[in-house]
Amino acid sequence: MYTKINTIILIVKDMKKSVEFYRDVLGIPVKMEMPQWAELATEGTTLALTPETHEIKIDPANNPSGISIGFQVKDLDKVYSDLRKKGGHFQMPPIDQGYGFSATMEDPNGYRITFTQSKW
């Protein structure tokens, strides 16, 4: 039975810019980095980046992939403030969703990243 997602791979336009975003803006340490592959040191599921090729192109803005990343946080106001200070641009500031509060930004490739603080 499939009980756990092991890896999420994002195809990116610019490896350097994408690694810098996840490492420097979001503050996720890089576990491994090579020209064609990078893994971020997230707990549980591996978040990996790989560059687009002639065969695989991305354009989330014009051809939404349906992929988004969600992070559970303890203090959304602090995360929102800290990321804005680092140059993060949010499409949705923190709002009450009923189950908790969430805010959404995009990475350099147009992938949506949502930060959620649960009410319970």
Residue 25 in this model has a pLDDT that exceeds 80 = yes
Residue 62 in domain: no
Residue 99 in domain: yes
Dist. CA 68–CA 47, nearest whole Å: 12
Residue 75 in domain: yes
The per-residue pLDDT for range 71-115, each reduced to its tens digit, is: 889 999 999 999 999 999 999 999 998 888 999 998 988 888 889
Residue 110 in domain: yes
In terms of Cα–Cα distance, which of 93, 98, 84 is closest to 115?
A: 93
Residue 20 in domain: yes
Helix and strand tally (H, E) in the chain?
A: 2, 8
Residue 8 C-alpha from the chain's centroid: 10
Q: Domain span at residue 99?
A: 7-54+67-118
Using DSSP's 3-state secondary structure scheme, residue 80 falls into: helix
20 C-beta neighbours (distance < 10 Å), count:
13
Residue 109 in domain: yes
Residue 1 in this model has a pLDDT that exceeds 60 = no
Residue 2 in domain: no
Question: What's the number of domains the chain is made of?
Answer: 1
Residue 19 in domain: yes
In terms of Cα–Cα distance, which of 61, 66, 63 is closest to 91?
A: 61
CATH of the domain at 26: 3.10.180.10
Using DSSP's 3-state secondary structure scheme, residue 25 falls into: helix
